[in-house]
Amino acid sequence: MKTNRLLLPAALLGLSISSRAEDAFVSLFDGKTLTGWEQHSGKAEYRVQDGTVVGKTVPDTGNSFLCTAKKYSNFILEVEFKVDPSMNSGIQFRSNYYTQETEVEIAGKKKKFPADRVHGYQFEIDPSPRAFTGGVYDEGRRGWLFDLKNNEAARKAFKQGEWNQARIECRGDSIKTFLNGVAAADFKDELTKEGVIALQVHGIGKKAEAVGKEVMWRNIRIQELK
Domain boundaries, the chain: 27-224
Gap between the Cα atoms of 45 and 43, Å rounded? 6
Task: Say whether pLDDT at 157 is over 80.
Answer: yes
Rounded mean pLDDT, 5-13: 52
Do the Cβ atoms of 182 and 99 come closer than 8 Å? Answer: no
Report which residue type is found at 45.
E
Do the Cβ atoms of 120 and 141 come closer than 8 Å? Answer: yes
pLDDT at 62: 87
pLDDT at 201: 93
pLDDT at 198: 98
Report DSSP state, residue 210: G
Gap between the Cα atoms of 138 and 121, Å rounded? 5
Gap between the Cα atoms of 188 and 182, Å rounded? 19
Task: Say whether pLDDT at 208 is over 70.
Answer: no
pLDDT at 17: 46
Which residue, among 78, 80, 81, has the nearest Cα to 222 in the 3D structure? 78
Cβ atoms < 10 Å from Cβ of 117: 20
When the pLDDT of each residue in the chain is averaged and rounded to a whole number, the result is: 90
67 phi and psi, to 5 degrees?
A: -110, 150
pLDDT at 7: 52
Output the pTM of the full model.
Answer: 0.88
Task: Say whether pLDDT at 151 is over 90.
Answer: yes
Band (pLDDT 50/70/90 cuts) for residue 90 is: very high
Looking at domain 27-224, its CATH architecture is Sandwich (2.60)
Do the Cβ atoms of 94 and 198 come closer than 8 Å? Answer: no
